[in-house]
Structure 1
Amino acid sequence: MIPKIIHQTWKSSHLPEKFQAYQKTWIMYHPQWEYRFYDDAACRALVQLEFPDWLALYDSCPYPVQRADIFRYLVIASNGGIYADIDMECYKNMEPLLAGKECVFGVETILSPRQTRLLNHQYAERIANCIFAAQKNHPVFNRIMNEVSQRLAEKPAGILETTGPGMLTDVVQKYRKQYDVHILPQINWLPPISADYPNCFPFNLRMYAKHHFAGTWKNENMEAPRLRRRLSGNRPLTLLKNIAKFFYLFFNIRGLYYKILSSPVWKGNLYFRRKNTSQKKGNDAVERMPDHPI
């Protein structure tokens, strides 16, 4: 049984206003749950107290987001409950979604065959680490931490592949059957489609939380900004950048084809549209039918 505890973190106790609003939604929809908030100092203190063997690895991480990733795995391993990024907004009580389950992760996205090949990934169904839940001492977290340790030792490696969704996907997909890990579809934890009228899309009504993808951690990795600054003064690269943008857009649109085939989000939307379109055509046919004398 997953304990009724919600865990969230931020670098300090002073949350930006929008994050305060998201934080309140978790408390509002879970009045019977215990809510725990950790700043960076509290995160390190918990690792030092409950996982002293992992403290050296935690401190050695070059980027704060890697330490945040490690903390979220360890805090659920030691306490159980649900972890959610601070930029996630809760829409409903999570109990129906977690009932009868020991460990729950969710799909972040579904890669096209080309994306899977280019990223050298074994699995097209990518697992999110922005929100997950488990009972205390669930064995999959031992596997996760061992994999984190191994990947951090094999430098250099990107953040996503050492402590983030890339690493998590490999571990969870590999051991999901052995450890009875339940994987929820995208539909439960992704932003609703159509911001103006989200309830026009029936599958949005199945949303339990929305990830706003603030991406604050990306500013901590200074390698990409430094590279962009070096390239920005080189005007001949403008054409190449435009070409790159074109292909980026092309392959993203092409990738939607694979999402439509495999994702319940897109399937639900298409079914909804087909159903309404066929009904509209039927109504139009009735309206156009000429009157016949009896």
Structure 2
Amino acid sequence: MTAHTSPGLYGRPEVVGERAFTVQDIDDHACRSRYLRHLTGMLSRPVTAAPAAPIPRVIVQFWDDSAHIPADVHECVTSWTVLEHQGFRREVYDDDSARSLIGSLFGDVHTAAFDSCLHPAMRSDYFRLCYLARNGGFYVDADDFYQGTDWTPLFRDSRLRLQALCYDTATDTMVDPRQAMVSDGHGGTFIHYVNNNPIIAPAGHPVVVAALDASTAALLAHAGGPLDIQSLTGPGNLTVALARHALHQERSGQPVDVEILLAWDAVAVSRWPLSYRSDERNWRLWSQQQ
């Protein structure tokens, strides 16, 4: 098959191996990973022209019980207060305030989807999509500690900004995405995807809206049993939405209005260990007894 040659943002075709990437490939984990590697290489480069409409300078965070934020998490949350002196507003939501906002923004259907999120991590995942789809802004997880670095490159234009991630199935470890871009290709053990933290987005960005729509439908259709948080509300869901949007844009010869961040750790680090990570407040340790 002849490789498709739509210019995308940098004039490179969207190819998987020696053939064009197809919509059907998005549902294949290995093909989607290869396409995400292509996107990461393409969308992590500087651009000379990009949409200029401003992204709201509001920092949005979530902890399910705002009256009982652990001290070590509170330290992370408040590390961002320094930006209040640089033109940012901070909004910290919990289960009750997030549910109320979702109801006011969307109504009963989305409120029901939020209520079906059985773990706080899921509610956090779903809430951020709801908030950003309507309002735009800068969502960051409550366990990310701000490093005090220059934030202005993150707001230099109105592209959606997402963090690159890479996981090595052979070693069961995360890989620095910068290193993965130069070392991948030896054995096909790397999985390339994007995180749902941070999300820096203008209101109504197609990737965020599509991720919200997909998550809402999947949550309401879930028939019981174990929940795959990654694919229902988390990074897997957002990665699929990004891949679909980028493929459509490339095939249409339109810019992919996204920047993939390779060095988010220069801006913020996820503190480890934190007290909540050792119990079922950590979704990875959740027993899912329903």
TM-score normalised by the chain length of structure 1? 0.61
- Aligned residues: CA RMSD: 3.1
Give the match for residue 188 of structure 1. Answer: 264
CA, structure 1 residues 127+112, in 2 after alignment: closer, same or farther (shift >3 Å)? Answer: same
The residue aligned with 2:193 is 126
CA distance in 2, matches of 1:225, 1:69: 16
| C-alpha contact (below 8 Å) 1:111/1:125 kept by paired residues | no
Structure 1 CA distance, aligned partners of 2:74 and 2:244? Answer: 36
Which of 72, 78, 82 in structure 2 is aligned with 1:24? 78
The counterpart of 1:94, out of the listed 123, 128, 151, is: 151
Residue in 2 that maps onto 1:70? 126
User: What is the Cα deviation at residue 212 of structure 1?
Assistant: 1.9
Note the 1:220-231 alignment, pairs <5 A.
220=281
Counterpart AA for 1:158: D
Shift of 1:166: 1.7
Counterpart in the other structure of 1:10:
63
Superposition TM-score, scaled by structure 2 size: 0.62
Instruction: Give the structure 2 partner of residue 140 of structure 1.
Output: 207
Q: Which residue of 2 aligns with 1:45?
A: 100
Change (3 A) 1:6 1:221: closer
Q: CA deviation at 1:70?
A: 0.6
TM-superposed CA distance for 1:85, in Å, is 0.6
Structure 2 regions of 5+ residues with no counterpart?
1-53, 173-187, 250-255
Distance 2:201 2:154 in 1: 12
Check 1:113–1:51 CA distance in 2 against 1; reply closer, same or farther (3 A cut). farther
1:210 aligns with 2:269: yes
Amino acid at match of 1:139: P
Matched, 1:162 2:223: no
Residue number among 22, 34, 54 corresponding to 2:89 in the alignment: 34
- Offset from partner CA, 1:163-216 (integer Å, 9 cap, x none): 11122222223323635122111x223xxxxxxxxxxxxxxxxx0111125494
1:60 alignment counterpart:
116
State the Cα distance separating 1:147 from its structure 2 match: 1.6
Q: Which amino acid aligns with 1:70?
A: Y
> Which residue number corresponds to residue 241 of structure 2?
171
Alpha carbons 1:63, 1:221 under 8 Å: kept: no
Q: SS in structure 2 opposite 1:61?
A: coil
User: What secondary structure sits across from 2:65 in the alignment?
Assistant: coil
Structure with more of its chain in helix, by fraction = 1
Cα pair 1:29 1:90 within 8 Å, conserved? no
Q: Which has the higher strand share?
A: 2
Query: Any unmatched runs of 5+ in structure 1?
Result: 116-120, 190-206, 228-294
Deviation at 1:61, TM superposition (A): 2.4
Tell me the percent identity.
27
